[in-house]
């Protein structure tokens, strides 16, 4: 399996993503009409979201081919895909149609060598995903959890914290996320970080930021009420505290990235073992978006050695200044090589800060973040091209860590 062949080939395919997707679905539904129900494609928006989800998911896998954690990521993905009622034969069908579509749109760039690389890559992907799904099933894990909305707290017009009580306990570790679906929008799932450490009553908090043209967030923010029932996928993600805590800790939370960081801080506050030192940077695009201040104050009381820095633009200044102020604040701190860093927030900011931290002395292997499953949002640059020539987006123009 040659990662460079896969990257180069994928960049070619991505430039003809629309045609590739049409060919893929035509091939799949012609040869396997029974899988049609698994793919909601009732509108142009549905088709665009499916295109972006497919290509973004492949891009995430390709980006991880030479790095650690690929198998664990794919196992989690397969475990999570049980919510779509995917079976082993579906993986085989999708793989055959996917490679057929890639060959059809690649023209002279397709060869037996490229086909072999994709055959091998898809076999790795499918085997790991099926392994994760099979293990979850053998342990009696449901495909999803039904969860009642038992609390709803609004913060302005475009941010809501929903408190859910699953009908059966949903195991999770602080820092993880769950996929969420509303039965009124069948087939639409979006990832949201759990905003609390595990509780005795099994309730979960989800911090939902409104994305005006999002597929799910308008429903959750504007129309979901106490008593409604949502569906939750299994807890996934690796933005979790490395225990025991052996080094100083830095937490960076932007926007609704506060949710997983809050859960990590609750865990740190509840553990009996001491921690050396910890520092927290809370970033918001405007003072109006500094929500959950009471919880932050309570955590500062419980964690007396937690140094907190709150960053917003100066009054009347553009949102972009929050990023600049954060970079300045990070640059003014020392001893980065000693710290484990936990980073959560909108994808653009997370990417930018991840690139900056090693220059300040942070050890790349100790900068922890999550790549959430793709939500199907549009892109200004093709995913394959992004892998070969990464941009440096500004976080204020990207959707938040929580799903759309």
Residue 47 sits at the vertex; the CA angle it makes with 379 and 182, to the nearest 5 degrees, is: 95
Rounded Cα gap, residues 157 and 165, in angstroms: 24
> Which tokens sit at 247?
């080094």
Confidence of residue 119 (pLDDT cuts 50, 70, 90): very high
Residue 356 three-state SS = helix
| Confidence check: pLDDT of 376 > 80 | no
Rounded Cα gap, residues 206 and 221, in angstroms: 11
Rounded Cα gap, residues 390 and 383, in angstroms: 9
Q: What's phi and psi for 65, nearest 5 deg? A: -60, -35
Do 344 and 257 touch, CB atoms closer than 8 A? Answer: yes
Q: What is the mean pLDDT of residues 66-76?
A: 80
Q: Walk me through the domains of the chain, giving residue ranges and CATH numbers.
A: 3-138 (1.10.490.10), 145-232 (2.40.30.10), 249-397 (3.40.50.80)
The candidate with the shortest Cα–Cα distance to 119, out of 135, 99, 143, 148, is 99
> How many residues in total does the chain contain?
404
Residue 108: how many CB atoms within 10 A of its CB?
A: 6
| Confidence check: pLDDT of 385 > 70 | no
Exposure of 41 by Cβ count < 10 A (0-12 exposed, 13-18 middle, 19+ buried)?
A: middle
Q: What is the pLDDT of residue 49?
A: 65
Rounded Cα gap, residues 344 and 251, in angstroms: 8
Q: What is the pLDDT of residue 396?
A: 32
Rounded Cα gap, residues 34 and 28, in angstroms: 10
* Contacts of 281 by beta carbon, 8 Å cutoff, 6+ apart: 250, 251, 252, 253, 309, 311, 326, 329, 330
Do 256 and 208 touch, CB atoms closer than 8 A? Answer: yes
Query: HSE on the CB side for 26, CA within 13 Å?
Result: 9
The candidate with the shortest Cα–Cα distance to 78, out of 36, 128, 33, 113, is 128
Residue 60 three-state SS = helix
pTM: 0.81
> Which tokens sit at 230?
């949502």
Tell me the per-residue pLDDT of 226-279, one tens digit each, with 9 for 90 and over.
Answer: 999 999 999 988 899 986 677 899 999 999 999 999 999 999 999 876 677 899
Query: Considering only 22-26, 65-69, 275-279, 348-352, which range has the smallest mean pLDDT?
Result: 65-69
Tell me the per-residue pLDDT of 122-133, one tens digit each, with 9 for 90 and over.
Answer: 998 899 999 999
| Confidence check: pLDDT of 302 > 70 | yes
Task: Please give the residue that has the higher pLDDT: either 53 or 18.
Answer: 18
Rounded to the nearest 10 degrees, what angle do helices 320-331 and 347-360 cross at? 20
Confidence of residue 65 (pLDDT cuts 50, 70, 90): confident
Tell me the per-residue pLDDT of 97-106, one tens digit each, with 9 for 90 and over.
Answer: 999 999 999 9
* Contacts of 164 by beta carbon, 8 Å cutoff, 6+ apart: 147, 148, 149, 150, 203, 204, 205, 206, 230, 232
Q: What mean pLDDT is reported for the chain?
A: 85
């Amino acid at each position: 399996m040659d990662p460079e062949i896969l990257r180069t080939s994928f960049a070619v395919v991505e430039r003809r993503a629309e045609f590739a997707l049409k060919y893929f679905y035509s091939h799949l539904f012609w040869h396997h009409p029974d899988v049609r129900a698994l793919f909601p494609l009732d509108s142009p928006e549905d088709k665009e979201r499916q295109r972006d989800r497919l290509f973004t998911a492949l891009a995430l896998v390709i980006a991880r081919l030479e790095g650690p954690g690929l198998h664990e990521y794919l196992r989690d993905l397969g475990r999570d895909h049980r919510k779509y009622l995917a079976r082993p034969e579906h993986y085989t069908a999708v793989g055959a149609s996917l490679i057929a579509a890639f060959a059809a749109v690649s023209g002279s760039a397709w060869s037996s060598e490229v086909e072999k690389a994709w055959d091998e890559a898809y076999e790795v992907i499918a085997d790991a995903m099926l392994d994760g799904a099979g293990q979850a099933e053998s342990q009696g894990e449901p495909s999803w959890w039904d969860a009642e909305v038992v609390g709803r707290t609004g913060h302005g017009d475009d941010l809501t914290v929903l408190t859910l009580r699953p009908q059966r306990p949903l195991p999770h570790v602080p820092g993880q996320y769950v996929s969420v679906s509303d039965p009124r929008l069948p087939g639409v799932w979006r990832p949201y970080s759990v905003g609390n450490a595990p509780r005795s009553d099994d309730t979960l908090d989800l911090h939902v930021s409104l994305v005006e043209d999002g597929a799910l967030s308008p429903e959750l923010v504007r129309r979901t009420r106490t008593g409604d029932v949502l569906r939750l996928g299994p807890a996934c993600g690796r933005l979790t505290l490395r225990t025991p805590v052996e080094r100083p800790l830095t937490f960076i939370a932007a926007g609704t990235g506060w949710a997983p960081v809050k859960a990590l801080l609750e865990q740190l506050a509840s553990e009996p073992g001491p921690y050396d030192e910890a520092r927290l940077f809370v970033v918001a695009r405007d003072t109006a978006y500094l929500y959950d201040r009471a919880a932050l104050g309570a955590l500062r009381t419980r964690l007396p050695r937690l140094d907190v820095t709150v960053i917003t633009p100066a009054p009347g200044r553009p949102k972009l200044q929050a990023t600049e102020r954060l970079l300045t604040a990070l640059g003014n701190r020392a001893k980065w090589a000693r710290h484990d860093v936990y980073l959560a927030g909108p994808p653009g900011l997370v990417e930018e800060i991840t690139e900056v931290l090693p220059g300040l002395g942070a050890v790349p292997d100790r900068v922890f973040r999550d790549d959430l499953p793709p939500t199907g949002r549009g892109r200004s640059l093709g995913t394959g091209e992004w892998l070969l020539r990464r941009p440096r987006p500004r976080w204020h123009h990207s959707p938040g860590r929580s799903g759309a």
